[in-house]
Amino acid sequence: MNNTGFCSEAAAVNSINKASEDMINSHLSVNVKGTFFGCKHTLRQMKKQEPLWHGDCGWTVNISSTIALVGMAGLSIYAATKGAVASLTKSVTINAAPYRVHCNAVCPGCVS
């Protein structure tokens, strides 16, 4: 499970107008780069492993967000970074497929 992420902009009203470059960089560093390096190092190990009884060598699961898919007022940076996680997951799974390694994303959201 690759559960990397945080959201510091939730407390700011109209965050896109108040977002600083430092806020954007910190979200990118943790949410995107953290997930990227988690995938990189996990897949490096999984590609070396002997296949399991069913022929696959492993799975990694990234945590994105439904906000990446539908957006949410006040969370533009978070939505962008979790959208990057969803897109990253698609590319990683294509690159890992020849090694019988899988990469999926889960997009949790709110239930009302």
Q: Which of 78, 81, 84, 89 is catalytic?
A: 78
Q: Give catalytic status of residue 99 as yes or no.
A: no
Instruction: Tell whether domain 15-106 is in CATH 3.40.50.720.
Output: yes
Beta strand ranges found along 1-112 (DSSP E): 58-63, 101-106
Q: What is the pTM of this model?
A: 0.89
Please, how many CA atoms are within 13 Å of residue 9, restricted to the half-sphere of its CB?
26
pLDDT the model gives residue 19? 82
Mean pLDDT for 95-108 is 95
pLDDT the model gives residue 1? 83
Distances (CA, A) of 31 to 61, 78, 80, 81, 91: 14, 8, 10, 6, 16
pLDDT the model gives residue 11? 66
The 3-state DSSP class for residue 75 equals: coil
pLDDT the model gives residue 14? 61
Residue 27 pLDDT exceeds 90: yes
Measured distance CA(86)–CA(67) in Å, rounded? 11
